[in-house]
Amino acid sequence: MTKKTAPKKVTKKKDTKPKSDVKLKELNLAVKEEKDKYLRLFAEFENYKKRTSKERIELYKTANQEVITALIPILDDFNRANQQMEKESGSVDQEGIHLIYNKFHEILKNNGLNITEAKIGDEFDAELHEAITQIPAPSEDEKGKIIDIVEIGYQLGDRIIRYPKVVVGQ
């Protein structure tokens, strides 16, 4: 009787060992899969944090864009009034308008508004300027160049919110 029971125990040990190896491999594979899922989820969350941080910074930069864009025509009116008063004699009104204009312009500048550079004689660039008309160039070297600036352009930060309107020589 003892002989019969001993071989059964040996066979059971041999049978359990391959089963445990298979289970161990399955568990290792499951651990690898879960670790991979974890790493992917972690990377996705890090990307989400970076993206929302960039969006928040962009929102902060352009939060006042609508208000500043609405104030640009007022700035233009101040500029025209200032230019007209410079033609007249120096009065108290002229000084007051000039002070208000400077203060208003400085506040907008502190909030990121800058004048888009456009000078008469510069080469016309469709990405930086808006051509409202073309006229025959007075000389050959003025072809494709800015002849006149009709309206000043502005940018908020690095984004152009109004292109300078120019006349181009043809």
Same domain, 102 and 67: yes
Amino acid at 145: K
Q: Which two tokens stand for residue 86?
A: 């410079």
Q: Which two tokens stand for residue 128?
A: 């930086």
Q: Hunting for tokens 């080469």 — which residue is that?
A: 123
Instruction: Give the pLDDT band of residue 61 (cuts 50, 70, 90).
Output: confident
Same domain, 44 and 83: no
Query: Which range (9-13, 49-53, 121-125, 160-164) has the least confidence?
Result: 9-13
- The model's pTM is 0.62
Same domain, 123 and 170: yes
- Which of helix, strand or coil describes residue 11? helix
Which of 12, 25, 73, 14 is CA-nearest to residue 81?
A: 73
Per the domain annotation, does 55 fall within a domain? no
**Domain interval for residue 99:** 63-111
Same domain, 93 and 72: yes
- Structurally, the chain folds into a number of domains equal to 3
- Report the percentage of the chain scoring pLDDT > 90: 54
Which of 167, 169, 58, 166 is CA-nearest to residue 116?
A: 166
Whole-number Å distance between alpha carbons of 127 and 163: 9
Same domain, 126 and 145: yes
Same domain, 121 and 106: no
Same domain, 123 and 161: yes
Whole-number Å distance between alpha carbons of 100 and 162: 23
Query: What's the residue count for the chain?
Result: 170
Whole-number Å distance between alpha carbons of 149 and 152: 7
| CATH number of the domain residue 161 falls in | 2.30.22.10
Per the domain annotation, does 133 fall within a domain? yes
pLDDT for the residue 73: 94
Per the domain annotation, does 45 fall within a domain? yes
